[in-house]
Structure 1
Amino acid sequence: METAQATRLYVETRAVSDIKLLIPLLDARHPQLWIRKGQGMAGLGTALRLEFSGPDRFTDACAAWREVAAAATVNDPIAAPGTGLIAFGTFAFSARSAETSVLIVPEVVIGKRDGVFWVTRTRVLAEGEQAPDARGGVSGLTGLIATVTAKSGSRSGSGAGTAAGHPLPADVPPATSFGPEYRLTLLPGAATPDTYRAAVETAVGRINAGELEKVVLARDLVGHLPADSDLRRVLLDLALGYPDCYTFAVDGLVGSSPETLVRVDHGTVYARVLAGTISRGRDAEADHDQAVALATSSKDLDEHRFAVASVMTALAPHSTTVIASEIPFTLKLPNLWHLASDVEGTLSDGSTSLDLIAALHPTAAVAGTPTPDALRLIDELEPFDRGRYAGPVGWVGADGDGEWAVALRCAQVDDDGTITAYAGAGIVSESNPEHEFLETRMKFRPIVEAFA
């Protein structure tokens, strides 16, 4: 692992012609991806990896990233979200987790957003090496531009903001065919169905005794990935099946999250809070009835209120104009309905996206209320380390802007092929153990079906 203080990066972004698909360009076993509605970034290789742990993992990451960005030379004529110097990141849920939190700067980033297509190349400068002149010196990409093939040369215009005629650099691996299909079943892990129901029952008793108002309890499923399996198959299933979610792959954590923890773009801050869940109906009429039931459920509205208050309280010191949706709305996903609220504001203190994930995590939507009491009960009742589940996952740019989701509907895939997936439910005084178990089963569906 490189240290931030000792690392000087040279980063160059160039516009390229239309990029049809990102996932086929990825490494089959170690993909790096952030995509939603077909737009986002794919990463290849590692130019810099920074690791953090313990209660200071967020503040340490903020400080390290500022050092890296300050020491980097960036040539980015596009200057769009995701261009220039970026790092993909994923953070452990708990300060006591054995799982490391990481920021990873890929060697190559291939991106597409709003009709703009680009490739960014990052390399570590040797000791004493001068960075190329960003105004036109020899660059890490110059000389690597390949000749346009007859096929790409015959394309018509690729949309506003594209650079037609600028193909992918020759050092970017071409899209490759996916490996053989595989199917595997994820089985109960440390938390069995029976022990999970018992944990929910215990939590309801604690809540009714006045110890806390809400706690989010998760359970796990485990499996093993066959040797040489192609993780791009899982990502493609998630991206196609859940296009409105953030499909991600960072350091073995793969998933498709519906919840925006925070997005920062030129001083504007945005978050989407999800809390309260119900299954979709079998037909249009039943589906409508389910949405109405969720929107009028006192149990789910209470759970949602705690989550929104948690986010508003965390953002208030950083924004004097933060506002939330007047009433929650129902968000439709392929397998369930969520109660959702959007939160927006203008930053008043120059905070970066990393500063804000430090302030926001953990929200009541993934921990509970009051947070310290909920975290203690999670440690008592969950028989596993959550790892990066329910922690922040996303990306940050050199200026601190970025986009972070809550790591939900996800699984950690270790180097030995071990898969651990997680899903949780918010427990309040009216919670029923069987209902909460069934809610986790619905939430497992995206990742279970992607591996099946």
Structure 2
Amino acid sequence: MPSNPLPSRLRVRTVPVDVTGDLLTRIPDEVDPREVVTWLREGDGMVGWGRAVTVRTSGPARFADAESWWDRVRELAEVEDEVRDAGSGLVAFGSFAYSPASADESVLTVPRVVVGRRDGQGWVTHVVLDDEPWPPAHPAEMLARSNPRIDELDPVVETPGTVPAERWPEVVGRAVERITSGAVEKVVLARDVTVRHRDGDVVRVAPVLERLQRRYAATWTFAVDGLVGATPEMLVRLQGGRARSRVLAGTIRRGAAALHETPQGDPEHPVDPRLRLVSSEKDLDEHAYAVRSVVEALAPHCSDLQVPTAPYVLELPDVYHLATDLTGRMRSGATSLRLAAALHPSAAICGTPTAAAAAVIAELEGMDRGRYSGPVGWVDGDGDGDWGIALRCGELAPDRRSLRIFAGGGIVAASNPHAELAETEVKLTAMRHALGLATR
């Protein structure tokens, strides 16, 4: 059921404006952090705030219910779009629970205000309901204002999550036992850490997003309904009749320490971690499972599906990933949201076979992932859009005074439990840095 009833009219107006500098500085500091929406990469994209209309869904039909609601919104919307670019006009931002059994609701929301920029073209979109007046300020006047506290982090403290770090190797070891017994081929396990405002105040998300964007510009920095992060993995992009997906699976940390971690532990003969990654049977197997699951999900929707024969190494500030980019021409007429639903959950965040891996996750993780590792992104009035996988992220609690941050890794028969713990610690670095808990 919609969180707020649909109005009789939804009026949308997009006008071109000159938008320079950091888009995140346009988010007013007084805005409720759960009403901030963001989708940015290399400084371009969209930021927004406020809620015009919102739907919350749950259970196995959470994607279908959200898409049905979006169809109704598109029908009643009156759109004036002077820009006509990806993300201008009518647009909704969404994030979906990883599991149909999650107690956390999925959400699709149309902001009151969106500020966007793509390839030098900037715009502002306002949304009003029924006979509400348009905002009195000209968009250029609104953009002249800047958030004075964008660099001011809130004081936070970290406490153990559902499964403390010292117990994680035990959990991984039990997963390896399931794999060697033949119950499952690969399973992706995740753990959480709790971060609270030291003084019990609300945790503001704009400064967190700012630090993520600065350090991880090559990823997609996102915010939807209190879920904030910087994902390196594009689940699906649909634009102009062409679908694209980036698969990441297989990880090794980078830096001087990793350079001297040879399989034999010989510091006199360091091995470039990128070479170790592309020659690791464990990581290549994990990656192959993930690619296969995406191909199987896209095949019914795409013709001319292009699948590279080998992955490349994606370089991020903290880690290297094995990556594969797939592209195909749409033939099914599905929206980007429907494609995201078809692709979720991929082997990169669940495992294979899917049902068996999901059962192992439910048995061993000991937590509700919420919207972590679910699809996050946006869809426009034509059905195009971007949907990433909510990784390297944290989710605000309902009271907005704490959040859980998450990290996971793919477990296969060759996995080392202590190495898997180390991998989650490296992946937690992104959010720890963004919250001021990690300085490197």
Calculate the TM-score normalised by the size of structure 2: 0.91
How far apart, in 1, do the equivalents of 2:92 and 2:294 lie? Answer: 24
Distance 1:181-1:316 versus aligned 2 partners, 3 A rule:
closer
How far apart, in 2, do the equivalents of 1:96 and 1:299 lie? Answer: 30
* Alignment correspondent of 1:336: 319
Query: Is residue 228 of structure 2 the alignment partner of residue 254 of structure 1?
Result: yes
8 A Cα contact 2:255 2:318, kept in partner: no
* Alignment correspondent of 1:140: 134
- Tell me the CA shift for residue 194 of structure 1: 3.1
Distance 1:187-1:228 versus aligned 2 partners, 3 A rule:
closer
Aligned-residue RMSD, C-alpha = 1.9
Distance 1:55-1:284 versus aligned 2 partners, 3 A rule:
closer
* Alignment correspondent of 1:195: 167
- Tell me the CA shift for residue 230 of structure 1: 3.2
How far apart, in 1, do the equivalents of 2:11 and 2:86 lie? Answer: 18
- Tell me the CA shift for residue 443 of structure 1: 0.5
Per-residue displacement from partner, 1:253-282 (whole Å, max 9, x unpaired)? 111100001000011000100000001031
**Which amino acid in 2 is paired with 1:440?**
T
How far apart, in 1, do the equivalents of 2:51 and 2:362 lie? Answer: 34
* Alignment correspondent of 1:355: 338
Deviates more, 1:229-238 or 1:324-333: 229-238
User: What secondary structure sits across from 1:20 in the alignment?
Assistant: coil
How far apart, in 1, do the equivalents of 2:25 and 2:416 lie? Answer: 43
User: What secondary structure sits across from 2:300 in the alignment?
Assistant: helix
Distance 1:418-1:92 versus aligned 2 partners, 3 A rule:
same
Q: Within 5 Å, which residues of 2 pair with 1:269-348?
A: 269-282=243-256, 289-348=272-331
Query: Is residue 242 of structure 2 the alignment partner of residue 268 of structure 1?
Result: yes
User: What secondary structure sits across from 1:263 in the alignment?
Assistant: strand
Deviates more, 1:189-198 or 1:442-451: 189-198
* Alignment correspondent of 2:392: 409
* Alignment correspondent of 2:363: 380
Per-residue displacement from partner, 1:192-223 (whole Å, max 9, x unpaired)? 12332111111101111111100000111002
Which residue of 73, 77, 83 maps to 1:68? 73
Per-residue displacement from partner, 1:1-53 (whole Å, max 9, x unpaired)? 2245x553110100012332211111435122111100011112111111111
- Tell me the CA shift for residue 80 of structure 1: 0.2
User: What secondary structure sits across from 1:317 in the alignment?
Assistant: coil
- Tell me the CA shift for residue 184 of structure 1: 2.5
How far apart, in 1, do the equivalents of 2:398 and 2:70 lie? Answer: 26
Per-residue displacement from partner, 1:136-157 (whole Å, max 9, x unpaired)? xxx836x642xxxxxxxxxxxx
- Tell me the CA shift for residue 292 of structure 1: 0.5
Query: Is residue 147 of structure 2 the alignment partner of residue 176 of structure 1?
Result: yes
How far apart, in 2, do the equivalents of 1:437 and 1:283 lie? Answer: 16
* Alignment correspondent of 1:431: 415
Distance 1:296-1:281 versus aligned 2 partners, 3 A rule:
same
How far apart, in 1, do the equivalents of 2:278 and 2:425 lie? Answer: 21
* Alignment correspondent of 1:149: none
Which residue of 230, 241, 248 maps to 2:204? 230
Runs of 4+ in 1 over 4 A off after TM superposition: 283-288
- Tell me the CA shift for residue 229 of structure 1: 4.3
User: What secondary structure sits across from 1:185 in the alignment?
Assistant: strand
8 A Cα contact 1:11 1:74, kept in partner: yes
How far apart, in 2, do the equivalents of 1:96 and 1:338 lie? Answer: 30
Per-residue displacement from partner, 1:311-337 (whole Å, max 9, x unpaired)? 000000001211212210010000000
How far apart, in 2, do the equivalents of 1:444 and 1:261 lie? Answer: 21
* Alignment correspondent of 1:8: 9
8 A Cα contact 1:7 1:68, kept in partner: no
Deviates more, 1:13-22 or 1:331-340: 13-22
* Alignment correspondent of 1:161: none
- Provide structure 1 residue ranges, at least 5 long, that are not aligned to the other structure: 130-138, 146-166
- Provide structure 2 residue ranges, at least 5 long, that are not aligned to the other structure: 261-269
User: What secondary structure sits across from 1:423 in the alignment?
Assistant: strand
- Tell me the CA shift for residue 76 of structure 1: 0.6
* Alignment correspondent of 2:63: 58
User: What secondary structure sits across from 1:240 in the alignment?
Assistant: helix
Q: Within 5 Å, which residues of 2 pair with 1:63-102?
A: 63-102=68-107
8 A Cα contact 2:153 2:208, kept in partner: no
Q: Within 5 Å, which residues of 2 pair with 1:13-32?
A: 13-28=14-29, 29-30=32-33, 31-32=36-37
* Alignment correspondent of 1:134: none
* Alignment correspondent of 2:215: 241
8 A Cα contact 1:186 1:448, kept in partner: no
How far apart, in 2, do the equivalents of 1:59 and 1:195 lie? Answer: 38
Per-residue displacement from partner, 1:333-353 (whole Å, max 9, x unpaired)? 000000000010000011110
How far apart, in 2, do the equivalents of 1:181 and 1:394 lie? Answer: 25
8 A Cα contact 2:149 2:207, kept in partner: yes
* Alignment correspondent of 2:185: 213
- Tell me the CA shift for residue 244 of structure 1: 0.3
How far apart, in 1, do the equivalents of 2:50 and 2:271 lie? Answer: 46
8 A Cα contact 1:88 1:250, kept in partner: yes
How far apart, in 2, do the equivalents of 1:222 and 1:44 lie? Answer: 26
Per-residue displacement from partner, 1:158-185 (whole Å, max 9, x unpaired)? xxxxxxxxx5255x68212017443433
* Alignment correspondent of 2:424: 440
* Alignment correspondent of 1:106: 111
User: What secondary structure sits across from 1:321 in the alignment?
Assistant: strand
User: What secondary structure sits across from 2:107 in the alignment?
Assistant: strand
Query: Is residue 369 of structure 2 the alignment partner of residue 368 of structure 1?
Result: no
8 A Cα contact 2:249 2:323, kept in partner: yes
8 A Cα contact 1:218 1:422, kept in partner: yes
Q: Alignment length, in residue pairs?
A: 417
* Alignment correspondent of 1:162: none
